[in-house]
Amino acid sequence: MTTELAKNIRKNILNMVYRAKASHAGSSLSIADILAVLYENILNVDAKNPDFKERDRFILSKGHAATALYAVLAEKEFFPKEWLDKYCENDQLLSGHISHYVPGVDFSTGSLGHGLPIACGVALAKRTARSPARVFALLSDGECDEGSNWEAMLFAGHHGLDNLVLIIDYNKIQSFGRVEDVLDLEPFADKLRAFKWNVQELDGHNHEALQNCFANLPAKSGMPTAIIAHTVKGQGVSFMENKLLWHYKSPTEEQFQEALEELEAQP
């Protein structure tokens, strides 16, 4: 079920970036599995009533991976799938970076390092209101260069916000190079532990691992959970995998067809 959803998310991502001649295919493909498991089995959200008060909040802090979130929201019927064909077009709702004007999206992002502080605010307000709502923030690895995230990490750890879940899409490639070359995050898990977070590491494309982790939150009561999801940029389309180029390039028609065929052939 989640495998099928992830495949559809990927096909939609490719369709959108191909039609709009847009960037960030690799960044979106890398989080397709995480989103599939979250939206299929984990998040307490309702497409028919997207603004109900006690819903879980999902914040896509890496707003440039908008195509992936738009795709899963369309698949889950938050809005008509036809909207996806109008991605980035004049006077349409689906902007290049994620927009809160789209049903099912609570926060607009695009400038990096904004999602986690917002998530801390939501988590604190929800905890104070004794609400069952949880907050999930999905960050990119490159985004962790931003100091604002570390301010928020200090805060969440210090205050033990256990209704807050940070997911890091650790695909090892940032905007202009490999993370280890540009600004190394390692030892990443240790850094987060030192900030008083409960850290889980998993394969971000393994649905069973994602499911098991998400189904047992918080991983430790009284602590925020950080999930370091080891991923592959461009996952699912072999010629896009692990290549900086696909942070920027849009597929040609030939490449688009080839990518779709490859996805179709996958189980």
Partner 1 sequence: MRTMFIKELTKLAIEDPRIWLLTADLGYSVLEQFEEAVPDRYMNVGVAEQNLAGMAAGIAHCGNIPFIYSIANFPTMRCLEQIRNDMCYHGYPVRIVSVGGGFSYGSQGYTHHGVEDFAVMRSLLGMTVIAPCDPVETKALIEQSMHVDTPVYFRLGKAGEPLVHPEDAQIQLGRAAVVRNGTDLTFIAIGAIVKHAQDVAEYMAVHDGINIRVLSMHTLKPLDKEAVLKAAKETQGIVTIEEHSITGGLGSAVAEVLAEDCEDKVSFQRYGLADQKYSLIGDQKFLRECLLGDLRQKSLKIMKNPIVFTEVKINE
Which residues, 6 or more positions from 90, have their beta carbon under 8 angstroms from its beta carbon? Answer: none
Closer to partner 1 at the Cβ: 59 or 259? 59
CA distance 231 to 36: 14
CA distance 77 to 58: 16
132 binds partner 1 (CB under 8 A): no
Q: Which of 16, 29, 116, 223 binds partner 1 (CB under 8 A)?
A: 116
Q: Which stretch binds partner 1 (CB under 8 A): 41-49, 68-76, 144-152, 207-215?
A: 144-152
Closer to partner 1 at the Cβ: 8 or 61? 61
140 binds partner 1 (CB under 8 A): no
Closer to partner 1 at the Cβ: 151 or 241? 151
136 binds partner 1 (CB under 8 A): no
Picking from 77, 86, 79, the residue whose alpha carbon sits closest to that of residue 16 is 86
155 binds partner 1 (CB under 8 A): yes
95 binds partner 1 (CB under 8 A): no
Closer to partner 1 at the Cβ: 124 or 182? 124
147 binds partner 1 (CB under 8 A): yes
160 binds partner 1 (CB under 8 A): no
Q: Which of 14, 24, 40, 117 binds partner 1 (CB under 8 A)?
A: 117
128 binds partner 1 (CB under 8 A): yes
Q: Which of 104, 113, 142, 224 binds partner 1 (CB under 8 A)?
A: 113
Q: Which stretch binds partner 1 (CB under 8 A): 76-84, 103-111, 192-200, 240-248?
A: 103-111
Strand order of the β-sheet with 164-170 is 57-60, 135-140, 164-170, 225-230, 198-203
Alpha carbon dihedral 91, 92, 98, 101, in 10-degree steps, equals: 90
Q: Identify the residue whose tokens are 């907050």.
A: 135
Encoding tokens for residue 100? Answer: 């809160």
145 binds partner 1 (CB under 8 A): no
For the CB of residue 164, give the shortest distance to partner 1 in the complex, in Å: 10
For the CB of residue 111, give the shortest distance to partner 1 in the complex, in Å: 6
For the CB of residue 23, give the shortest distance to partner 1 in the complex, in Å: 20
Total residues contacting partner 1 by CB under 8 A comes to 31
Which residues, 6 or more positions from 115, have their beta carbon under 8 angstroms from its beta carbon? Answer: 59, 60, 61, 62, 63, 107, 109, 137, 138, 139
Q: Which of 71, 123, 192, 209 binds partner 1 (CB under 8 A)?
A: 123
Residues that bind partner 1 (CB under 8 A): 53, 57, 100, 106-111, 113-114, 116-126, 128-129, 147-148, 151-152, 154-155, 158
